[in-house]
Structure 1
Amino acid sequence: MGRPDFENLQVYQLAEKLANQVWDLVKGWDYFTKDTIGKQIVRSADSIGANIAEGNGRYNSKDNQRFVKMARGSLYETIHWLRLAHSRQLITDEQVNKIKPIIDELSPKLNAYLNSLN
């Protein structure tokens, strides 16, 4: 069995990079913080790439588009959780500055990928 096509997509690779950076941020938090905001932010960040992968595996343009839209929703949810984490002083300005360029690149690439499926 060959490697899935989605692994070659730059948009997927960015989503995976974001999810791994979010994981690295959260894994050092205390139990309460991990159990509340930590689980939410990890799930939403992981969901971006998972939805890209699942949509790609559908081999149907309309289904794929639907999953890319869910990935975009998960990206926005991740942004929400990152904003809360920052305002609650769980992540530093330096950590935000490390993640922000990935988000700034991923958001338009998700939209471009969605448009390419038409």
Structure 2
Amino acid sequence: MINLNHKQLNVYKKSVELVSEIYRLTENYPKAETFGLTSQMRRAAVSIPSNLSEGASRKSEKDRKRFYRISRSSLVELDTQLEISINLNYLNNNNTKKVEKLANEVFAMLSNMI
């Protein structure tokens, strides 16, 4: 892997941790959700650190912030999918505490960067 500056950012580290937690949580989703909610949640989660990384590599502040906003939007999308998962009883408030904590921290950090 390339040793890049964005990998030292706490927001990057926490967003990568969030991705791992989402993969762990969605492991036991019903098979019927493999190409539905499971895939959607995983893609939204991966999009968070991916867009953060891409933004960090941009030279102009305007361009960087655009990618940080996309990253934050993916986090909001993921939050909606978590809520749907709870409503469908795929998850409950007990097994989402770590994800909620990480999501709130990442949201705050991204908002501060924007």
TM-score, normalised to structure 1's length?
Answer: 0.90
Look up the SS of the partner of 1:29 in the other structure: coil
Deviates more, 1:57-66 or 1:70-79: 57-66
Match runs of 1:3-82 below 5 Å: 3-82=3-82
Contact 1:11 1:113 in 2 (8 A): no
Task: Say what the alpha-carbon RMSD is for the aligned residues.
Answer: 1.4
- Which ranges of structure 1 fall in alignment gaps of 5 or more residues? none
Q: How many residues align?
A: 114
Look up the equivalent residue of 1:29 and give its one-letter code.
Y
Q: Unaligned regions of 5+ residues in structure 2, if any? A: none
* Comparing 37-46 and 89-98, the one that deviates more: 89-98
Runs ≥4 residues deviating over 3 A:
none
Stretch deviating more after TM superposition (63-72 or 27-36): 27-36
Q: By how many angstroms is 1:92 displaced?
A: 2.1
The 2-side partners of 1:44 and 1:23 are apart by 11
Task: State the TM-score, normalized to the length of structure 2.
Answer: 0.93
Give the letter for the 1:88 counterpart.
L
- 1:101 is displaced (CA, Å) by 0.9
Q: 1 or 2, which has the higher helix percentage?
A: 1
